[in-house]
Amino acid sequence: MLLPEVASRTLHPAPPESYTIFTGGCNFKCLHCQNWSISQYPDNGMRVDGFVNPAALAREAVSAIESPAGRLMGADRIFFSGGEPTIHLPYIEKVVFEARKLNRSCKVNFDTNGFMTESSLERILDFTTSMTFDIKAYHDEIHRAMTGAPVEPVLRNAEIVATRAPEKLWEYRIVVIPGVNEEDVGPICRFLARLSGDLPVCFLAFRPNFVMENHPRASRGLMTKCLSLASEAGLRNTAWAGVTGLPGSFRNIDTLSDAAYERAGAKTAGSYASSHGCETHPRDCGTCPASDACTIKRIIPGKSC
């Protein structure tokens, strides 16, 4: 992408109610991505809205929030999501600058996977009103197998937000995937509880998607177990959301035989990646020599399995 591209934008009723701008592209290749058509753009050839002049986008967003439909919905902010909005940070700063010329108190939410430099995080905290912050795993090998990226920057940034700007934290979000990252729910909870027992955390039941389009959903029992683990760790402000209990299977994956991963969840995620053409393990998309030819980012669910 030569210019930052907007994948789509719309008034959106999910809390925090907003005018949501989905930007194209992502620095992760999550096997379970629910926004795969956006996140793997442009490699997957899907269509997006394209480049939108930042002043025009700001006018559109402020106008939508102040419209009767926006007021009825309770929309009170521009919500940047993706993909990963961080990869378009200068563009987003410009949109926010233009929006606040129109409405000085215009609120902003930044929805992120947490994978950015400290200086980028400082820039985001400078303008954002709230953050929704995904934590996908605690152990590096599980995080790499799921996302193709190391976990250390994510945990470092989660700690920075919790300690320097907890008032900006809407919630940490943890998508719970049976047999993949469920073993990391306890460690993530203990990590966050050490920072503060009051941090808001929402567990989201995995919805089959992308490479993992046939994987079983999380059960209601697993989601309530997450709340128990959070409570045992000392977290007091937790919830779970999502649809549970639909069937699925681990079909179409061959168990990865090499020793790149030790933990069961990492082996399962690595096996999904391997079965769909990823040859680099542990996954590290940022340095992968096969990145240009990568088949994962070109997968269209429903056609590949």
Site for ligand SF4 in 29-88 (CB under 6 A): 29
- Out of 211, 223, 229, 296, name the contact with ligand SF4 by CB under 6 A: 296
- Smallest CA-to-CA distance from 59 within 100, 18, 119 is with 100
**Site for ligand SF4 contains 209 (CB under 6 A):** no
- Smallest CA-to-CA distance from 241 within 208, 201, 213 is with 201
Show Cβ contacts of residue 192 under 8 Å, excluding neighbours closer than 6 positions: 158, 162, 172, 199, 201, 233, 235
- The span of 47-55, 169-177, 245-253, 272-280 binding ligand SF4 (CB under 6 A) equals 272-280
- The span of 73-81, 104-112, 180-188, 288-296 binding ligand SF4 (CB under 6 A) equals 288-296
Cβ distance to ligand SF4 smaller for residue 130 or 271: 271
Task: Determine the Cα–Cα distance for residues 250 and 283; give it in Å rounded to an integer.
Answer: 20
The residue behind tokens 């959903």 is 217
The crossing angle, in degrees rounded to 10, of helices 185-195 and 220-233 is: 30
- What minimum distance in Å lies between the beta carbon of 176 and ligand SF4? 22
Handedness of CA 251, 252, 253, 254 (dihedral sign): positive
State whether residue 174 is helix, strand or coil: strand
- The span of 52-60, 185-193, 261-269, 284-292 binding ligand SF4 (CB under 6 A) equals 284-292
**Site for ligand SF4 contains 285 (CB under 6 A):** yes
- Out of 37, 113, 129, 280, name the contact with ligand SF4 by CB under 6 A: 280
Site for ligand SF4 in 121-160 (CB under 6 A): 148
Up-side HSE of residue 101: CA atoms within 13 Å toward CB?
11
Neighbours of 47 (CB within 10 A): 11
Up-side HSE of residue 90: CA atoms within 13 Å toward CB?
2
- What minimum distance in Å lies between the beta carbon of 177 and ligand SF4? 17
- Out of 288, 298, 301, 304, name the contact with ligand SF4 by CB under 6 A: 288
- Out of 241, 243, 264, 290, name the contact with ligand SF4 by CB under 6 A: 290
Residues that bind ligand SF4 (CB under 6 A): 29, 148, 273, 278-280, 283-285, 288, 290-291, 294, 296
